[in-house]
């Protein structure tokens, strides 16, 4: 099934400002489950719009908010490929880090509530549970938002996420036991932020809470493998990610 879709750029009011966002919906008269797409650090941009439309074509209403709206409207980075190439990447993240540090657990909980309220109010959004899918820093945000409203989210996915099971007091794995939906994590093979130890911490937290989950390491896939506008893009891994995501969403939301 590949439904025709419509993409709109929308503004979502939050307690801390306005989150510029993309919203993709099937064009027919049906109602569909809602999915929140949590971006990487580079903003809502054409490659994000491509993914949200593709997910929507499978029968979902998909909202991609700019998580860094407190600092800057999208695109956060103008030329992502160049900015993430070679030594430029380190310089880029020096400028992005202050923006990302504003994604505290409290702020993500507030944001999640605002995003859910907006998505649930859309005419094409079916009443009921929603899904979350997050990329890079968005994977951490998915766990945080999912844990802040566990009854809302029946499916939580993360792709090339890092620092999900650290030894810090704000590590996402420490709240993962509050989730109620099924969890899928697709890790990058070459990712210092997703070491076996960190993956194990998250898996153990989910297992101890009795949460259905699956973790996979995508062989030979670097951090960022889903994003076509970066040097890290790997088409085979990106397609695998899409298949895994749609399988999860279909099973848990339909």
> How many domains is the chain built from?
1
pTM above 0.75, yes or no: yes
List the pLDDT tens digit at each of the 254 positions of the chain. Answer: 899 999 999 999 999 999 999 999 999 999 999 999 999 999 999 999 999 999 999 999 999 999 999 999 999 999 999 999 999 999 999 999 999 999 999 999 999 999 999 999 999 999 999 999 999 999 999 999 999 999 999 999 999 999 999 999 999 999 999 999 999 999 999 898 999 999 999 999 999 999 999 999 999 999 999 999 999 999 999 999 999 999 999 999 99
Choose among 197, 137, 134: nearest CA to 162.
137
What span, in angstroms and rounded, lies between the C-alpha atoms of 140 and 171?
Answer: 9
CATH number at residue 63: 3.40.50.1820
What span, in angstroms and rounded, lies between the C-alpha atoms of 239 and 254?
Answer: 21
In terms of Cβ atoms closer than 10 Å to its own Cβ (0-12, 13-18, 19+), residue 64 is buried
Q: How far is CA 207 from CA 23, 24, 143, 201, 214, in A?
A: 34, 34, 15, 10, 10
Q: Which domain holds residue 126?
A: 5-253
Please state the length of the chain.
Answer: 254
């Amino acid at each position: 099934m590949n439904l025709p879709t419509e993409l709109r750029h929308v503004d979502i009011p939050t307690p801390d400002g306005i989150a510029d966002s993309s919203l993709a919906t099937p064009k027919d008269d049906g109602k569909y489950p809602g999915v929140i797409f949590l971006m990487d650090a580079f903003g809502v941009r054409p490659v994000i719009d491509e993914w949200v439309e593709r997910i929507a074509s499978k029968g979902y209403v998909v909202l991609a908010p700019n998580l860094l709206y407190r600092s800057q409207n999208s695109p956060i980075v103008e030329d992502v490929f160049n900015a993430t190439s070679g030594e430029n990447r380190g310089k880029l993240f020096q400028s992005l880090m202050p923006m990302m540090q504003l994604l505290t657990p409290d702020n993500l909980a507030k944001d999640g509530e605002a995003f859910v309220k907006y998505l649930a109010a859309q005419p094409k959004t079916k009443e009921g549970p929603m899904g979350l899918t997050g990329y890079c820093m968005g994977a951490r945000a998915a766990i945080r938002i999912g844990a802040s409203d566990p009854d809302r989210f029946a499916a939580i996915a993360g792709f090339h996420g890092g620092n999900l099971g650290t030894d810090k007091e704000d590590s996402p794995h420490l709240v993962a036991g509050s989730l109620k939906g099924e969890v899928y994590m697709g890790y990058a093979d070459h990712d210092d932020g997703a070491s076996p130890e960190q993956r194990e911490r998250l898996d153990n937290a989910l297992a101890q809470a009795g949460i259905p989950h699956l973790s996979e390491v995508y062989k030979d896939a670097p951090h960022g493998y889903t994003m076509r506008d970066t040097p890290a893009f790997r088409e085979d891994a990106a397609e695998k990610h899409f298949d895994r995501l749609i399988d999860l969403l279909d099973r848990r939301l339909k």
